[in-house]
Structure 1
Amino acid sequence: MPDPTPYELYGELFVAVQMGRVCGDGKSFVDARPRSAPAAIRERFEAERHQPGFSLADFVHAHFVLPEHSAPAGPRLGIREHIRALWPLLVRQPGPAREGDSLLPLPRPFLVPGGRFRELYYWDSYFTMHGLLADGRRDIAEDLLANLSHLLRTYGFIPNATRSYMLSRSQPPLFFRMVELMHASDPAGGFALHLDELRAEHAFWMDGEAAVAPGQAHRRVLRTGSGALLNRYWDDRCTPREESWREDVLTAEAARTAASRAPAEVWRDLRAGAESGWDFSGRWCADPADMATIETTALAPVDLNALIAGLEEAIAQGAARRGDTAAAQAFEARAATRRQALQTLFWRADAGHFADLDWRNPGDPRPLTAAGLVPLYLGLATPAQAQAMAGQVQRHLLGANGLLSTTLATGQQWDAPNGWAPLQWMAAQGLARYGHAALARDIAERWCASVHRVYLETGRLLEKYDVTCDRPGGGGEYETQDGFGWTNGVYVAFKESLLQAP
């Protein structure tokens, strides 16, 4: 990976800053811009660190420009007018690469989620696009798609976000859905236009597939003992996440003390959890209440495999439009095989819901989560399975203010009582696709009403909400952020589709 990360640039200075919480939020330092060459800063740190009266905080402020952490502000407006006013405030202009700056250069203006998230994020962009299009900001949506296409052409994949320290992982592969959204009148034509990028993303996820034996895995690809070819989340590094260095070091120490786990193993699983976008959830843990038992790489996630089936179908359609019959047939067969795996291996007949698969121990009963609705979203479930999932939602996942992420109460932000915009959207769209329109509308109405009430109370649009009562979501490694790209997008899209309100 050619772009050096902050840890690679600053070494012991980096570790001292992050472990000492000099900047409070660990993401602040990795997003800081150096005032001079990184090598010179590092050399000066080594020369000064042992001198009497040395202050690490003063050194950091003298040698780095720390990012501002402010929410978009403006006069209190109606919620729809507020969202329309927010779009341009969340746009950032592209600039050249700067030595020591972790921000990756992009060719077009880009939209950030808000708060501490000051860069382009992969899966956020898809849900944000829905609102941009509904609000007549196709220009921003086109810039987003162009930037993501650029990342695929440049790196062979779309990173988690446009930071050097996130170049070892991706996020849920929704690029094909973005292409479909931007080419709604002719999706196959869009897939044909972007076929090279779609195939590059598929190759990234499937790297090493030819050499993987049953019961083995390589990077993001695995084979079950029965020979089924599936995918998992992964990260090409096995060190602490640089933006959460201190938290990951402490988690690994707890795992080593309690279970003698190697730190590198824990860090890999934490990083893989970050690739999932669900960072973090008891979904990824052997003991949902204990992050030290995280085992993300031991799981074939139901949502990831559904998305890759959708990607394979998109490639088949794009190849057919280009006249490449052999490729179209090959990817159609891949999609069909994965659809069959989803309907069998990922379906818990005993509990009546889709779930992740422990690919080494397929009998391990994984819990119900909102991820189990992604097969419905992509049309990959049987009608009976969709009916059962609708019942699961009504009995276990539907809160007063929308869809719970999981039924687990762990203190992690992707667990109860939190609900997130992307999960509301995929669940409601999936249920509506299978004829459960009333339930889909109920989810949308409950969530949108709560977003509106919290906005009237606080003047803020938030990344996550407590769906059991009217308040911001909580838990996790940082304070709830506002801005907020995908909440804005899904709120507007619900109002323009399922709820049909102006």
Structure 2
Amino acid sequence: MASRWCSPFLMIVSVMFCGKTSAQGGGENLANIAACDSEIYCSGRLLEAVQNAHVFNDSKTFVDMKMKTEQDEILRAFDALAGSGADISSAEVMQGFLDQWFDPPGSEFEVWEPTDWRDSPKFLDNVADSSLREWGRKIHELWKSLGRKVKPDVRDRPHLYSMLYVPYPVIVPGGRFREFYYWDTYWIIRGLLLSEMTESTKGMLSNFAEMVERFGFIPNGGRVYYTRRSQPPVFTLAMRDYLDQTNDTGFVRTMMPLLEMEYNFWMSNRTVTVSGHVLNQYQASIGKSRPESWREDEEVASSLQTGSDPARFHANVATACESGWDFSSRWFEDSANISSISTMDIIPVDLNVFMCACEAALADIFLRLGLGDAAARYQAAVERRRSAIDAVLWSDQQGVWLDYNSATGQHNNRFYASNIFPLYTTCYGDGTAESDIERRVVNYLKRENVLDYPGGVPTSTIHSGEQWDFPNGWPPLQHLVIEGLASSSVGEVQQLARELAQRWINVNYRQFAKTQAMWEKYDVETGEHPGSGGEYDVQVGFGWTNGVVLHLLDKYGHVLRAPPISTAATVVLHRGALILSIIASISTGQLHFECL
């Protein structure tokens, strides 16, 4: 099926993108496929020694460091160190070696601040609550702290870096996530467009286009160790949103071959057929530990049951990372232990919703560009997708869509927020909002008791200890749930969307008042503190959190109200406002003080 989507232009650019790509690993033995080919950043004796010595608490720190000289020279020096009898299992010894041969993380960036940032974006004028409006301005201010520009040296000497060079500056998620991430960027872009930062957005879209030209797809993130896996395909959705905001048809027209190229990658390398219906799966054929989480992967792989295939385990882990849900009971056969992970067998609801949205966006964009034949092809793809989702993923018994295991032929009956995502795109039935389906989905949410938490809808109802499970709520999932419900034709369902938007605003606002920070996830059970669980500490920043909040302020600002906060939190909030005001004044040479 997939090959017929390759246009003549794409065949001229590169025939390989209608077949297997570097993200697939070709016919190579899975156990031999590392995250990339680098013997420093992705596999080899030095990587193993540094990670085993626990030089850093976070495995990602080492693989983000810059080499001071050539890879072969560093490896010879390491062999000499090991051959001298030095204790390479010692963190102190290995730290000394790294100090000699590597620069710290962050060496690949130069100072940059967005040039298209403006003081007060217009959409905030429609936020009725003055406290929320002021908070929105503070979030808008955070874009400046998250801006990054990659040094030209990364372009000129890429072999010394794990960073992938991109020509235009980016807004990053924050915290340990110093580089761009694929699906994070979609919600960042939605926020940037509300902040009227269209030049920054255009640059980031151009960076994505360059990634597609280089790899045939967009990597998980901007590092070499991410180049054999992707993330949820949202490039086309971001381009459609940019076009809606700017009407920049000239730029978008030049991007269309690359949007199609990425679509072809997913349709050539990430599909499965069930009862004649073609659907998409995540599939990252990587048979070794992830460099950025090397110790964690090695620990689980060493404990696998006798007869288990470590390479298959690593591929399932990398595939879960490609899904964006790393990690969740959603991918575990026993719903509890990552050792039972089987992501590659699962046909996910959300991926097929993203693909349906991509197909619909391609049809819409081509139509707006006056290319009716291309628009008709993608509209036909939308119709096939709806039929496939109805036939394979819809559970009439549960009254909702469920992930399907292609190995067992069974649905996963557990609750996950992604189960209701087809509402977001009306990618079911005839493509129009259907009140009976919407009511059945809301009844499902009520039966699962997921509508009563003060902080929004939980990712799942499973207490697995993984971060994409209960009690965590994640910004992109909240956005998709709220948007899906808001698109309903039923007043009760629309009201539920508004209530969930208010709850999500509450938890974000209260935590900002307490910490002067936006966080990557939150605890929906308490509605109070940032979420927990997973391989790393909860991160501050935070790109997609900012984008989702700005979107909700734009959509519901006329009805949202700031929640009550403690006096102490109010003082912190006002002090934060003063600090931001001082920083802004110093940067403009107009320092002044006022009482807050």
Contact 2:459 2:468 in 1 (8 A): yes
In the alignment, the residues of structure 2 paired with residue 9 and residue 161 of structure 1 have an alpha-carbon distance, to the nearest angstrom, of 15
In the alignment, the residues of structure 1 paired with residue 43 and residue 427 of structure 2 have an alpha-carbon distance, to the nearest angstrom, of 47
Q: Compared with structure 1, are the counterparts of its residues 422 and 485 closer, same or farther at alpha carbon in structure 2 (3 Å cutoff)?
A: same
Tell me whether 1:242 sits opposite 2:291 in the alignment: yes
Tell me whether 1:385 sits opposite 2:437 in the alignment: yes
Pairs within 5 Å for 1:356-375: 356-375=403-422
In the alignment, the residues of structure 2 paired with residue 32 and residue 188 of structure 1 have an alpha-carbon distance, to the nearest angstrom, of 38
- Quote how far apart the aligned CAs of 1:80 are: 2.7
Counterpart in 2 of 1:105?
165
Which amino acid letter does the alignment assign opposite residue 153 of structure 1?
E
Q: Which has the higher contact order (CA 8 A, sep 6+)?
A: 2
Indicate the SS of the match to 1:403. coil
In the alignment, the residues of structure 1 paired with residue 141 and residue 412 of structure 2 have an alpha-carbon distance, to the nearest angstrom, of 46
Tell me whether 1:221 sits opposite 2:271 in the alignment: yes
In the alignment, the residues of structure 2 paired with residue 439 and residue 325 of structure 1 have an alpha-carbon distance, to the nearest angstrom, of 38
Q: Compared with structure 1, are the counterparts of its residues 171 and 441 closer, same or farther at alpha carbon in structure 2 (3 Å cutoff)?
A: same
Which amino acid letter does the alignment assign opposite residue 464 of structure 1?
K
The CA deviation string for residues 298-339 of structure 1, in whole angstroms up to 9 with x for no partner, is 001111011112222223334445555544333222211111
Could you tell which deviates more after superposition, 109-118 or 363-372?
363-372
Q: Compared with structure 1, are the counterparts of its residues 166 and 6 closer, same or farther at alpha carbon in structure 2 (3 Å cutoff)?
A: farther
Q: Compared with structure 1, are the counterparts of its residues 43 and 411 closer, same or farther at alpha carbon in structure 2 (3 Å cutoff)?
A: same
In the alignment, the residues of structure 2 paired with residue 351 and residue 160 of structure 1 have an alpha-carbon distance, to the nearest angstrom, of 33
Tell me whether 1:116 sits opposite 2:169 in the alignment: no
Pairs within 5 Å for 1:198-217: 198-207=259-268
In the alignment, the residues of structure 2 paired with residue 201 and residue 318 of structure 1 have an alpha-carbon distance, to the nearest angstrom, of 15
In the alignment, the residues of structure 1 paired with residue 255 and residue 419 of structure 2 have an alpha-carbon distance, to the nearest angstrom, of 28
Counterpart in 1 of 2:242?
182
Contact 2:41 2:63 in 1 (8 A): no
Contact 2:193 2:201 in 1 (8 A): yes
- Quote how far apart the aligned CAs of 1:288 are: 1.2
- Quote how far apart the aligned CAs of 1:363 are: 2.8
In the alignment, the residues of structure 1 paired with residue 378 and residue 95 of structure 2 have an alpha-carbon distance, to the nearest angstrom, of 54
In the alignment, the residues of structure 1 paired with residue 535 and residue 184 of structure 2 have an alpha-carbon distance, to the nearest angstrom, of 19
Counterpart in 1 of 2:116?
none
Counterpart in 2 of 1:253?
302
Indicate the SS of the match to 1:196. helix
In the alignment, the residues of structure 2 paired with residue 415 and residue 114 of structure 1 have an alpha-carbon distance, to the nearest angstrom, of 22
Which amino acid letter does the alignment assign opposite residue 380 of structure 2?
A
In the alignment, the residues of structure 2 paired with residue 391 and residue 5 of structure 1 have an alpha-carbon distance, to the nearest angstrom, of 51
Could you tell which deviates more after superposition, 420-429 or 245-254?
245-254
Q: Compared with structure 1, are the counterparts of its residues 337 and 462 closer, same or farther at alpha carbon in structure 2 (3 Å cutoff)?
A: same
Counterpart in 1 of 2:105?
67
Which amino acid letter does the alignment assign opposite residue 387 of structure 2?
Q
Contact 1:95 1:106 in 2 (8 A): no
Aligned length: 482
Indicate the SS of the match to 1:393. helix
- Quote how far apart the aligned CAs of 1:194 are: 3.0
Contact 1:188 1:317 in 2 (8 A): no
Counterpart in 1 of 2:488?
434
Q: Compared with structure 1, are the counterparts of its residues 491 and 290 closer, same or farther at alpha carbon in structure 2 (3 Å cutoff)?
A: same
The CA deviation string for residues 134-174 of structure 1, in whole angstroms up to 9 with x for no partner, is 22322322222221122222221111111101000111011
Q: Compared with structure 1, are the counterparts of its residues 424 and 448 closer, same or farther at alpha carbon in structure 2 (3 Å cutoff)?
A: same
Tell me whether 1:27 sits opposite 2:60 in the alignment: yes
Indicate the SS of the match to 2:272. strand
Q: Compared with structure 1, are the counterparts of its residues 358 and 92 closer, same or farther at alpha carbon in structure 2 (3 Å cutoff)?
A: same
In the alignment, the residues of structure 2 paired with residue 191 and residue 230 of structure 1 have an alpha-carbon distance, to the nearest angstrom, of 27
Q: Compared with structure 1, are the counterparts of its residues 156 and 228 closer, same or farther at alpha carbon in structure 2 (3 Å cutoff)?
A: same
Could you tell which deviates more after superposition, 445-454 or 177-186?
177-186
- Quote how far apart the aligned CAs of 1:460 are: 1.7
- Quote how far apart the aligned CAs of 1:111 are: 1.1
Which amino acid letter does the alignment assign opposite residue 44 of structure 2?
G
In the alignment, the residues of structure 1 paired with residue 165 and residue 106 of structure 2 have an alpha-carbon distance, to the nearest angstrom, of 19
Counterpart in 2 of 1:89?
145
In the alignment, the residues of structure 2 paired with residue 270 and residue 176 of structure 1 have an alpha-carbon distance, to the nearest angstrom, of 26
Which amino acid letter does the alignment assign opposite residue 93 of structure 1?
K
Tell me whether 1:36 sits opposite 2:69 in the alignment: yes
The CA deviation string for residues 184-207 of structure 1, in whole angstroms up to 9 with x for no partner, is 168895865532122111111111
Indicate the SS of the match to 2:244. coil
Tell me whether 1:397 sits opposite 2:450 in the alignment: yes
Pairs within 5 Å for 1:308-387: 308-321=355-368, 324-382=371-429, 383=434, 384-387=436-439
Contact 1:404 1:416 in 2 (8 A): yes
Indicate the SS of the match to 2:486. helix
Q: Compared with structure 1, are the counterparts of its residues 63 and 236 closer, same or farther at alpha carbon in structure 2 (3 Å cutoff)?
A: same
- Quote how far apart the aligned CAs of 1:181 are: 1.0
In the alignment, the residues of structure 1 paired with residue 42 and residue 338 of structure 2 have an alpha-carbon distance, to the nearest angstrom, of 29
Tell me whether 1:468 sits opposite 2:517 in the alignment: no
- Quote how far apart the aligned CAs of 1:405 are: 0.8
Q: Compared with structure 1, are the counterparts of its residues 92 and 11 closer, same or farther at alpha carbon in structure 2 (3 Å cutoff)?
A: same
Counterpart in 1 of 2:583?
none
In the alignment, the residues of structure 1 paired with residue 42 and residue 486 of structure 2 have an alpha-carbon distance, to the nearest angstrom, of 50
Which amino acid letter does the alignment assign opposite residue 441 of structure 2?
M
In structure 1, the gaps of 5 or more residues are 70-76, 208-218
Counterpart in 2 of 1:496?
554
- Quote how far apart the aligned CAs of 1:35 are: 1.7
Pairs within 5 Å for 1:243-322: 243-257=292-306, 260-321=307-368
Which amino acid letter does the alignment assign opposite residue 334 of structure 2?
D
Could you tell which deviates more after superposition, 449-458 or 59-68?
59-68
Contact 2:472 2:523 in 1 (8 A): yes
In the alignment, the residues of structure 2 paired with residue 135 and residue 242 of structure 1 have an alpha-carbon distance, to the nearest angstrom, of 35
Contact 1:123 1:173 in 2 (8 A): yes
The CA deviation string for residues 259-293 of structure 1, in whole angstroms up to 9 with x for no partner, is x3200100000000000000000001111111101
The CA deviation string for residues 214-246 of structure 1, in whole angstroms up to 9 with x for no partner, is xxxxx411112x121111111132211111111
In the alignment, the residues of structure 1 paired with residue 439 and residue 227 of structure 2 have an alpha-carbon distance, to the nearest angstrom, of 40
Indicate the SS of the match to 1:237. coil
Which amino acid letter does the alignment assign opposite residue 429 of structure 1?
E
The CA deviation string for residues 79-98 of structure 1, in whole angstroms up to 9 with x for no partner, is 33432221111111132323
In the alignment, the residues of structure 2 paired with residue 456 and residue 9 of structure 1 have an alpha-carbon distance, to the nearest angstrom, of 41
Contact 1:397 1:405 in 2 (8 A): no
In the alignment, the residues of structure 2 paired with residue 194 and residue 385 of structure 1 have an alpha-carbon distance, to the nearest angstrom, of 36
Counterpart in 1 of 2:136?
80
Which amino acid letter does the alignment assign opposite residue 444 of structure 1?
A
Which amino acid letter does the alignment assign opposite residue 541 of structure 2?
G
Percentage of pairs with the same residue: 34
Contact 2:42 2:290 in 1 (8 A): no
Q: Which runs of 4+ in 1 moved over 6 A?
A: none
Counterpart in 1 of 2:470?
416
In the alignment, the residues of structure 2 paired with residue 439 and residue 138 of structure 1 have an alpha-carbon distance, to the nearest angstrom, of 32
